[in-house]
A and B are shown apart, each in its own frame.
Chain A
Amino acid sequence: MCAMVVIADIDKHFGNFQALSKVSLEIEQGEVLCIIGPSGSGKSTLLRCINQLERIDAGAIWIEDELVGFRQEGNRLYELTEPQIARQRLASGMVFQRFNLFAHMTVLENIIEGPVVVQKRPKSAVVPEALALLDQVGLRDKRDAYPSELSGGQQQRIAIARALAMKPKLMLFDEPTSALDPELVSDVLNVMRDLARSGMTMVVVTHELGFAREVAHRVVFMDQGRIVESGPPQQLLSHPTEKRTQDFIAAVLS
């Protein structure tokens, strides 16, 4: 296995608030990494730095050995242009807490939008792939529905299909089940479990400790913008070494 993503000493501030400080992390090809932690711990920010929804203030990130967001010239890192950043974002697919399906497009239009408009692939090739993805998430019969006609669980599965349609190298999930009614969570987790088994590299910010325990190869616990502890799920979730991790897990499970 080789490192798919390398995060080295990144900082991120929002005004005076230090969201991330000196965070370093490596993610292997095919690894499923779950990030847990209290709200405001910086876990979503870390995820958003990987695909440049947030610009890092210091440090560097590489995806498959390509420096993300900057180019090196001498002893400085120069920020890339907007089209270059847009191209780099294609490496990762992202699933949001609030789904963010394009409200004015049908399910099928949502899925083919990126491949057709951004990747300029022919519609005739993209549509069969999109239908196969709809089969994969179990929602083929919803191809002509608008997002507003779907439940949260269905919208989130479509959002996963939309991200996969871009054929990303890794998938980022930002609390994908936090906005769902409890009975809809398992549908989404099932799709994610299948995806993990297929060998996709996944970074999942989540509160679903059961999912982390079952599917993750490694779990990272973050607090106050730092990685406190990381390790295999059995160890980190059952026998955490740090006091803060113990407290958090006890609070979530109670």
Chain B
Amino acid sequence: MVKPESGAGVAAGKYSIAHLTHQPRRHYGRWLAATLIVIALAMIVKAFAQGQIAWPVVGQFFTAPAIISGLWNTILMTICAMALGLVLGVIFAIMIMSPNPVLKYVAVFYIWFFRGTPLLLQLLLWFNLALIFPTLGIPGLFEMRTVDFMTPFMATLLGLGINQGAYTAEVVRGGILSVDNGQIEAAKVIGMTRLTMLRRIILPQAMRVIIPPVGNEVISMVKLTSVASVIQYSEILRNAQAVYYANNRVMELLIVSAIWYLVVVTVLSIGQHLLEKYYSRSEGRRGAKRVQAAAAEGA
């Protein structure tokens, strides 16, 4: 093979086609798929436009007091149940990693029980607790009637929060396991006790792993609160139902609820994105470096 001095020499003779303009391939399949989807969408939109939906009713009830108070209760319950779930999750994650077998197996049992039974069933169990324990309390200290304590709010909070804790425990455990043992040793040698270490070193680093799945669970919690409508907790879906039992505008009120759920979930998704960015701030160029290192090793 003779190496040419410059490109000019090569692009002659049978190689002269190197000068020709390139024509990209045409993607007929993409055009076809897009066309079919647009037609389908147009049909759906047309169906909704012609369907017997009273859109003014949707607008009218969108900010109705019953709906707004239901929305508020949904948000309140999401926050409270998630907070309870996180606290329980951290506690049980630490318990399950404990060298103490009693703590460990209590946590294993908790996770097994609450992940193994349906949430709806758990809610009903809490709400009907008065059937087996008429009063609650610590003997000699205080006592109250279970029906006074186990309001729809409390039953929902306990049901959702404790159930969530079982799922969060596994997520938190995964996060804690992801922290390099060297970080723990470094914390030990500067004299940190286990609690300080957990608070200052382990949990902040575990957060990077914990935040994305917990973010997803907050979002599903917003929707899960609707289950509480069966035990008369006045969240948005139950309030919407109460309205449509009165005025028969079933679809309109369900649409109102759906729009509100979408609004809340969208806002939360944006918040989750920002949080993830915050907790991965120390990643810096490491991600890029790892890719380079892997490439170098492969070479």
Contacts and interface: CB of A to CB of B under 8 A. Distances in A.
Interface of A: 51, 53, 82-83, 86-87, 89-90, 92-94, 96, 98-105, 113-114, 117-119, 145-149, 159, 162-163, 166
Given A102-B201, A104-B204, A146-B282, A53 B196 contact: no
B193 A83 contact: yes
Interface of B: 180, 182-183, 185-194, 196, 200-201, 204-205, 208, 281-286, 289
Contacts of A101: 186
A104 B191 contact: no
Given A102-B187, A148-B285, A148-B286, 11 more contacts: A82-B194, A100-B183, A100-B185, A113-B190, A113-B200, A118-B190, A118-B192, A119-B191, A145-B284, A146-B284, A162-B190
A115 to B, nearest CB: 9
Main secondary structure on B side of the interface with A: helix
Which of A51, A101, A148 has the most B CB atoms < 10 Å from its CB? A148
Nearest to B281: A146
Contact of A86 (B183, B192, B289): B192
Nearest to B190: A114
11 contacts: A87-B191, A89-B189, A96-B186, A100-B180, A100-B185, A114-B191, A117-B196, A118-B192, A118-B196, A145-B284, A147-B282
Given A87-B191, A118-B196, A102 B283 contact: no
A140 B194 CA distance: 31
B280 to A, nearest CB: 10
B189 A93 contact: yes
Lowest 5 A-B CB distances belong to which pairs? A114-B190, A148-B286, A100-B186, A100-B182, A94-B189
A178 to B, nearest CB: 14
Contacts of B182: 96, 98-100
Give the residue among A92, A103, A148 with the most B Cβ atoms within 10 A: A103
Contacts, number: 80
A17 B208 CA distance: 37
Given A113-B200, A117-B192, A148-B283, A53 B186 contact: no
Contacts of A162: 190
A162 B191 CA distance: 12
A134 B244 CA distance: 69
B267 to A, nearest CB: 27
Contacts of A146: 281-282, 284
Contacts of A147: 282
B205 A103 contact: yes
Contacts of A149: 284-286
A33 to B, nearest CB: 18
A105 B194 contact: no
Contacts of A105: 282
Contacts of B208: 104
B271 to A, nearest CB: 20
Contacts of A83: 193
Contact of A53 (B183, B185, B200): B185
Contacts of A102: 183, 186-187, 201, 205
B193 A86 contact: yes
Contacts of A163: 189-190
A148 B193 contact: no
Given A117-B196, A146-B284, A104 B205 contact: yes
Contact of B193 (A82, A93, A159): A82
B286 A89 contact: no
